[in-house]
Amino acid sequence: MTELEAKATRQAAVIYTGISLGMALFFLALTFLTGKTYTPVARVGGAVWVFILTMIVTMPIVIPAVKNRVMG
């Protein structure tokens, strides 16, 4: 792996991890704002689930886009 590819990989990881964390925090905010009483286990479990699913969806989208932008 060249230095340029490693840079692109690190940038992509930061981007899709940030998106996933943002969505998980958005999920947590929604559970508090709806006014319904969710258990802490349901909130944390749902946030983890949203984080994992968002990672699965965003990784194959973000990685090629960042590599194309960084490498040429």
- Are 54 and 23 in contact by the 8 Å Cβ rule? The answer is yes
Widest distance between CA atoms in the chain: 51
pLDDT value, residue 61 = 96
Closest CA to 44 of 31, 58, 55, 57: 31
pLDDT, mean over the chain: 94
Using a 10 angstrom Cβ sphere, with 0-12 exposed, 13-18 middle and 19 or more buried, the burial of residue 12 is buried
Model confidence at 58, in pLDDT bands (50, 70, 90)? very high
Give the relative orientation of helices 40-71 and 3-33 as an angle to the nearest 10 degrees: 150
pTM score over 0.85: yes
